[in-house]
Amino acid sequence: MTGFVSFVGSGPGDPELLTLKAVDRLKRADAVLFDDLSSGPILSYARPGADLVGVGKRAGRPSPKQGHVSQLLVDYALEGGRIVRLKSGDGGLFGRLEEELVALRAAGVAYEIVPGLPSAFAAAAAAGIPLTRRLTARRVQFVTGHDVTGELPRDLDLTALADPRACTVVYMGKRTFPALASMLIERGLPPETPALLAEAVSTPDQRLTRTTVGGLATALEGATSPLPALILYGPLAEETAV
């Protein structure tokens, strides 16, 4: 009998930020295929005896190909039982969710999607700032800092990303941000625009660096920190505007 797959968003890393549904699915799973950022204490909720399989991908490190991960998920599901595909943050936000959904549909495997707390929201909360500000930031935009080759995507909407009235969140962009910042400044984004570098959000290694777009671009030139990071820039505030 074909198994059932639960795509579970694990949030940014703090197990206390898991949803009740996420914990329930982990406790009942026969196998858990997890991302690197979903490992550690989060896996303590998996039931004893469950197969725990690491399939995470990290920039600059040997990682399984997406096709292999999708096939492995299908293989486990076809063996029967309950399978959890544990994804960091929310799987629908730069989590390669679609490729795995397509593979399951082609194999006739049923699934559900359990949303998780996006790391961008956790980063803003940790920094004590809102992602929107009345009158000055009515729009939030999310963008990936690299494409499948690891380079800055060539099809970015730079005009939108240079809008000083939007709060922009850059995922996986530490290495490419200096180049991106240069393009944005050329298109009119002031280099003194507030920026936040949020590393290892919600974990014991969390580091928050408040700076500017220009200052962050300079600081990240040649940076080699292995910590996962988000970059936020735009009309950020220390506290909510009144």
Active site residues: 35, 57, 172
Q: Are 19 and 25 in contact (CB under 8 A)?
A: no
Cα 53 to Cα 36, 62, 85, 118, 183: the distances in Å are 10, 16, 10, 23, 40
Q: Are 90 and 118 in contact (CB under 8 A)?
A: yes
- What's the chain's length in residues? 242
> Helix or strand or coil: residue 211?
strand
Q: Are 89 and 119 in contact (CB under 8 A)?
A: yes
Cα 216 to Cα 65, 66, 152, 183: the distances in Å are 31, 31, 17, 14
Please give the structure tokens belonging to residue 204: 């014991």
DSSP at 62: -
CA atoms of 3 and 235, how far apart (whole Å): 47
Nearest CA to 166 out of 185, 189, 148, 183 is that of 189
Please give the structure tokens belonging to residue 73: 């998920």
